Chains A and B, each alone.
Chain A
């Protein structure tokens, strides 16, 4: 059985903490973009020059790549590969596991040596982990019946 969270709640405060961490790391590591996503392909946070539209697509694809890589891992007798790295002429992307449900994608230009990329991905993951643990520890507050009903009533207007 492979259980999972039914919903993930990101508070304003969590997002500010993540944004602050990512902004600092963008400067320190000289990464182009930092993207936080979950294994189901949802974009959780992004920092850098990447547009939201591209970050959404990168998240869906990065989760797909990671999932495919893990089937490969299983075939080879590994439980999971903790990271995957793609090197291009101009740009590199490093995707690594932060916790069992969350992935970090860091995009660098080709000036950064692989060692530095791995170092920074590890460092960013370690800093972001307590924030994710805090998010997971907060009990999930059910939306009120009134809110839910309001959503239901108004959905028709969206189409």
Chain B
């Protein structure tokens, strides 16, 4: 749910990084946190387990700057990808404005990608938000066992959808994905 605050001339959008466990959602947020200047980013809040897996979510507020006299703010969240945290994923998705779906390009993660995407679609339908903008990042393109892009796109039914090839650990396509989803959510306002 975009939040338009006329008293502060601000518009806030909620963007969620969704995807299977270990696909690189937190890595995306971590890169954004390091890449943007201090004065425009808030506190990086992470609820992680002792092994640094996301337990609840990561949260990073970002202030992009002003357009048309309105400050554009983004609330960036990640969800925990593990099957166990189904309800947490659904809860973080509440009132989302846009999603970056981070798929793991490894051939071994094929089913995890498909199942997680189906889980996301189901949650959006239950929230009556099936038209929420989504951009897709096919991450970890530097792995030795990556699936060919065409095949991964077929498996996830991504033809005609905004797709980015990423290596989030070294920042490849991280900012492009953020820019892509920001454009999408702004167009929906």
A: residues with CB less than 8 A from B are 1-12, 14-16, 38-42, 44, 53-54, 56-57, 60-61, 64, 67-68, 71, 143, 147-148, 150-152, 154-159
Chain A proximity of B158: nearest CB distance (Å): 23
Interface residue from B56, B68, B129 paired with A151 (Cβ < 8 Å): B68
**Contact yes or no, B43 A155, CB < 8 A:** no
**Stretch from B5-13, B17-25, B100-108, B145-153 that touches the partner:** B5-13
- B-side interface residues, number (CB < 8 Å): 45
Given contacts A53-B42, A67-B91, contact A148 B3 (CB under 8 A): no
**Contact yes or no, A159 B67, CB < 8 A:** no
**Contact yes or no, A2 B126, CB < 8 A:** yes
CA distance A9 to B79 in the complex (A): 26
Q: What 0/1 pattern do residues 25 to 59 of B give for CB contact below 8 A with A?
A: 00000000000000000110101000000001101
Q: CB-CB < 8 A to A1: which residues of B? A: 126, 128
**Contact yes or no, B6 A56, CB < 8 A:** no
**Contact yes or no, B186 A7, CB < 8 A:** no
Chain A proximity of B70: nearest CB distance (Å): 8
Given contacts A11-B7, A57-B45, contact A42 B189 (CB under 8 A): no
B136 interface residue, CB < 8 Å from A? Answer: no
Q: What 0/1 pattern do residues 60 to 84 of B give for CB contact below 8 A with A?
A: 0100110110101001010000000
The residue among A1, A7, A8, A38 with the most chain B CB atoms within 10 A of its own CB is A7
Q: Whose C-beta in chain A lies nearest to the C-beta of B91? A: A67
**Contact yes or no, B95 A159, CB < 8 A:** no
CA distance A151 to B182 in the complex (A): 10
**Contact yes or no, A8 B67, CB < 8 A:** no
Given contacts A10-B5, A57-B43, A60-B75, contact A40 B67 (CB under 8 A): no
Given contacts A8-B1, A15-B7, A40-B14, contact A148 B187 (CB under 8 A): yes
30 contacts between A and B (CB under 8 A): A1-B128, A2-B126, A2-B128, A3-B127, A4-B95, A4-B127, A8-B3, A9-B6, A10-B4, A10-B5, A11-B7, A38-B1, A39-B94, A40-B1, A40-B14, A41-B59, A44-B3, A53-B42, A56-B75, A57-B43, A57-B59, A60-B57, A61-B45, A68-B56, A151-B68, A155-B67, A155-B179, A156-B179, A157-B65, A157-B67
